[in-house]
A and B are shown apart, each in its own frame.
Chain A
Amino acid sequence: MKKTLSIVALVALFSLNALAVQDEITISGYLGGGAIVSFGEEITDDIVDGEMYFQGWDFDLGDLEEYTGTDRYIYTKSNLDSGISMTIDSYNGGAMISENGGYIPVTYYFDGYDAGHVWTLGTEKQLTSAPSDGENSGHFFSFQRGDISGQPPGSYEAYLYTTVSAN
């Protein structure tokens, strides 16, 4: 089962319906401030005096068998022409380790909780491999909403932590 999570544009909106029912999520978000960084399909923009965007950042949820390493996954995408790179670093349980990979490494991890469930990025079998089919691959991630037996479902909050770090 494959789920796709994309950060694509400018409006902050997230549908959990999609995750749960359609197995597909689209996140759109405007981050603002600092620099322009385009992630995902391509990194094209220079650092300018303006804003920061995330574009076309695709998270592929699933493909369990593609991940054969430990519970940690690091992937860096660089564009040294523009002096920008991105590092995604996930760690079991949501720990965060910044890696300097270029001008502005970005470290992601997903962590959260709700009543009876824990959200984690890159745990168990959900973590997928880095894309291997060339420059235009998305950035593959996974996260799960795990059950804790005996806990009732209920309202929850989950957090997606990101560090943007100048190098």
Chain B
Amino acid sequence: MKRVFLLLFIFSSFLFSITMYPLIETISNLKKRQIVFKVSNPTERTVAADFSIKFLVDTNGKKEKRIETQKVMAYPSQFVLKPKESKKIRVRYMGSVLPDVEEVYRIIAHELNIDVSDKMQKTTTNKVEGQIKMRFTYEGLLFVHKPKAKANLKIKTFEILDTNSIKLTINNIGQASIVPNYNFYNFIITIDNKEYLLTEKNLKDTKFKRILAGKENILILKNIKLPQGKLNTVRLEKKDKK
């Protein structure tokens, strides 16, 4: 490899790729069942991208479970973007009524590894030519629910993993999904019958994942530095809207 390093490397352009906006949208009124996502190409090169929609089945575990869906349609699904060009993608919910339980869809814009730019003449040299390209995939969310759908979280089980961590199994018995972080909930634990409110600092190492309506997720409160004693209860208390 040293041999390679001694060669003169030609300056390589680092290309940033497509973007998508917005990342999160909600349909809660069938009269507004069509929404628009915008995919843009901020680069100086022509790029190819595709746009797809998947139904989000479950967020528990390390990888989301997604399946194909025909209930939300998008057009166009593949396109070429010239430099600085944006494309509006029309996304339409095809259901005839809003679901009782929220449906969540992944809206995915993905730049393809296809060279659609004008080819440049290359001259043969003894130099190593290099190029690093950045490929972005944007995974937005589309929520479809009735206007007053809300999440309702219940702790099903709790278990101490070690002196500083608690494993929670949380059910969402509501009609909408939520990310159960401390922006929305107080985490209150009782040790030796004394209540403690976990602070933001306590929860800084916890990874909060969205819990879909009607699903359960495991949440591990990491490095919360529990006081000595017997853990009696763990409960979630919804914060009041300010």
Contact = CB atoms under 8 A, between A and B. Distances in A.
Interface of A: 12-17, 19-21, 27-35, 49, 51-52, 76, 78, 80-81, 83, 85, 87, 97-104, 112, 114, 117, 145-147, 153-167
Contact of B20 (A17, A30, A34, A145): A34
A147 to B, nearest CB: 5
A166 B165 CA distance: 26
A15 B12 contact: yes
B51 to A, nearest CB: 14
B4 A14 contact: no
Contacts of A160: 132-135
Nearest to A100: B209
Contacts of B11: 15-17
B62 A35 contact: no
Nearest to A102: B208
Interface residues of B, number: 55
Contacts of A161: 134-137
Determine which residue in B9, B59, B140 has the highest number of CB atoms from chain A within 10 A of its CB, and name it.
B9
Nearest to A15: B11
Nearest to B110: A163
- Please name the 5 residue pairs, one residue from A and one from B, whose CB atoms are nearest each other, closest first: A33-B19, A14-B14, A165-B139, A155-B129, A100-B209
Given A13-B13, A80-B200, A156-B129, A99 B207 contact: yes
Contacts of A19: 9
Contact of A159 (B62, B113, B203): B113
B106 to A, nearest CB: 8
Contact of B3 (A16, A30, A153): A153
B94 interface: no
Contact of B13 (A14, A20, A103, A162): A14
Contact of A33 (B15, B21, B132, B137): B21
Determine which residue in B11, B43, B63, B130 has the highest number of CB atoms from chain A within 10 A of its CB, and name it.
B130
Given A102-B207, A159-B133, A159-B135, A166 B19 contact: no
A14 B131 CA distance: 8
Contacts of B5: 20-21
Contacts of A99: 62, 207
A155 B123 CA distance: 11
A43 to B, nearest CB: 12
Interface string B110-135: 00010000000010000011111111
A7 to B, nearest CB: 9
